[in-house]
Amino acid sequence: MILAARKVGPGGRVIGIDFSPEMIEQAKQAVVDAELEGADIQLMVGAIEDTGLPEGLADAVISNCVINLCTDKSAVYREAFRILKPCGRIAVSDILLSEHLDPKVEEALRANWSGCLGGAAVEEDYWRIIESAGFVELSIVSRHVLSPDELFVISCCPGEDFSNAPPPEILMATQGKAESVKFRARKPTV
């Protein structure tokens, strides 16, 4: 949100949405810390699956490692498509799986959904969701296979004080199959 506010400059507007009032409070403090109190930044508690924002409002939608926490990714992408103007762009960083995992491993990860692996989708299925929402020109900007240490950190996000890490054998079964993927796509003109 801070980077977006700096990118759009004084004539632009940034809307930040999170379902957690605590995260909105942290975002408000980040605005103060970044000395952006005069910028047109609106922060609101809400669901990204149904923002309540007007249709065709946004030039761009960005998300950094949030959609994997949503159970209905199709609804998220339909809503992003709805609020974008024609030719609007989406830029996302998310955690994806390169293949389906053993059902017992998937179940163990889902038991701790807040750990970013719990809601990670298989890449092939994820691209179908985005294309089904209507997006075009999907392009991968970068990808990074998560190391064992990175897998551990994200599996117990937001930290071990709040969320238990899965057993080591579950993380071992995920090694080499979980990636951080950054991509972009566009809403067509019509």
Locate the domains of the chain by residue range. Answer: 47-186
Task: Indicate the burial class of 166 (C-beta count within 10 angstroms; 0-12, 13-18, 19 or more).
Answer: buried
Fold of 47-186: Rossmann fold (3.40.50)
% the chain with pLDDT above 70? 95
Residue 116 near residue 173 (C-beta atoms within 8 A) = no
Mean pLDDT across the chain? 90
User: Which whole number is the average pLDDT over 117-134?
Assistant: 94
AA identity, residue 95: I
Residue 49 near residue 70 (C-beta atoms within 8 A) = yes
- Residue 33 pLDDT grade (very low, low, confident, very high; cuts 50, 70, 90): very high
User: Which whole number is the average pLDDT over 27-34?
Assistant: 93
pLDDT at 122 over 80: yes
Q: What is the pLDDT of residue 161?
A: 66
pLDDT at 140 over 70: yes
Question: What is the rounded (10 degree) CA torsion for 148, 151, 155, 156?
Answer: 60
Higher pLDDT, 48 or 69: 48
Regarding beta strands 58-64 and 84-97, do their DSSP bridges make them parallel or antiparallel, or are they unpaired? parallel
User: Which whole number is the average pLDDT over 59-67?
Assistant: 93
Q: What is the pLDDT of residue 61?
A: 97
d(CA 87, CA 38): 29
Q: Can you read off the two tokens belonging to residue 146? A: 């998560």
Q: What is the pLDDT of residue 7?
A: 86
- Picking from 12-26, 46-60, 111-125, 170-184, which range would have the lowest pLDDT averaged per residue? 111-125
Taking each continuous run of H as one helix and of E as one strand, the counts in the chain are 7, 7
Q: What is the pLDDT of residue 69?
A: 86
DSSP H or E stretch at residue 183: strand 178-186
